[in-house]
Amino acid sequence: MATLQQIVAGSSNKITLVIGNGINLFRQPDGNDSWKNLLCQICDDYNFAEGKHYLDAISLVEFSDLLQLHISQAGNNASVQKTFCEKLENWEFGDHHKEISEWAARKSVPVLTTNFDTTLSDSCNAELMHYKTVDTPKFTDFYPWSKYYGTRPIDKPHNSFGIWHINGMQIHIRSIRLALSHYMGSVHRARSWMHRGGNERLFGSVNSLDRWKGKVTWLDTFFKNDLLIFGLGLGAQEVFLRWLLIERKRYYLKFKELERKAWYICTTDEEIPERKFFLSKVDVATVALDSHDCIYRSPVWRT
C-alpha cells in the first residue's frame, strides 16, 4: 500500500493539494466543525426544526436551497450564506493545519480547498492577495477565482504556493457555494471558459492551457498539476468538483500528452465502492491508509 511519502516522492510533476473539511474534523469526535452541524444550527436559528429530520436523506446542497426558501417565505431577508460564514468566525487551526500549509509553502505547492474558513491561511500567516495580469477577468465577488491567500505574490497559479478557495471565500459572502443553484452557477462559468471561444477555450487546442481564461485562476492548477485529494467525502454535495474531475478526464482524453495523475486519500474504514468506482472512471487512484493520523500527521509534512 502506497504512503503519502511514496506518492509525493514518486510524482514527476508539480502537485496540487485538494483539501476538504476533514482537516477541520481531525481529532474532533463531536463533529462540531461539520457542514451538517452548522446547517442544523441554522435550522434552529430560523425555526426549521422539521428540516433537520431529513438532512441525511437530502444532499446538503439541495437542503441549503430548501432552507433559504423557508427563510425567505417567512419574510426574512437573512442569507444562509451570511449566517453560515458568521458561524465560522471562531474556528481555529491546529498543529496539523500549520504543518501542511507550511509544507506547501516550502515546496511552492498550490492548495485548493473546498472550505470557506481561513484556518489554513491563518496557520501560516498567509494574506489575501489578487493574482493580476493583463488577462485577469474583471473582478466579481460572486466568483473571486483569481484571489488567494499567500505569503508572497505568485508567478503562476500552478507553479506557486497559494491557498485558493474553490467554493467561495468567507470574506466574500456572495461567493459562498452552499446550495445547488450556487454550484450550477460555478459549472456554467467554468464551462464557458472550457468550451467557448475557439482556440482560446481550454478544449480548443493543445496550447490552450496557456491562453484560456482559467490560466489566471485556481483552475490553472487543477488541469496542469497532479492532484492529491484528502479530507473530502466527494459525495453528491461536491457536484462542482465531481464535474471538474469528469472534465479533466475528458480533456486528457483529447490531449493525451498533457495527462496528469491524481490520488484520493482516505482511511480503510472510509472506502466506499460507489465513490471508488466514480474515481476510477476519472483516473483518480484511491489510496486507503490505516488512520487519519497517517494523513494529517504524516512525516511527509515535516520534510
Q: Mean pLDDT lowest for which of 2-11, 121-130, 180-189, 293-302?
A: 2-11
Q: What confidence tens digit (pLDDT) does each residue in 164-203 have? A: 999 999 999 999 999 999 999 999 999 999 999 888 899 9
Confidence check: pLDDT of 31 > 60: no
Residue among 189, 205, 199 at smallest CA distance from 137: 189
The Cα 42–Cα 48 span in angstroms is 8
The Cα 34–Cα 250 span in angstroms is 32
Q: How many residues does the chain have?
A: 303
Confidence check: pLDDT of 275 > 80: yes
The Cα 203–Cα 213 span in angstroms is 12
Identify which has the larger pLDDT, 102 or 10: 102
| Mean pLDDT confidence for 254-260 | 97
Cα distances from 172 to residues 81, 82, 128, 144, in angstroms, run 10, 9, 12, 8
- What pTM was computed for the model? 0.95
pLDDT at 98: 98
Predicted confidence band of residue 302 (pLDDT cuts 50, 70, 90): very high
Confidence check: pLDDT of 100 > 70: yes
Predicted confidence band of residue 217 (pLDDT cuts 50, 70, 90): very high
Q: What is the distance between the terminal CA atoms of the chain, rounded to a whole angstrom?
A: 21
Q: What confidence tens digit (pLDDT) does each residue in 114-132 have? A: 999 999 999 999 999 999 8
pLDDT at 174: 94
Dihedral sign, Cα of residue 242, residue 245, residue 249, residue 250: positive
pLDDT at 76: 86
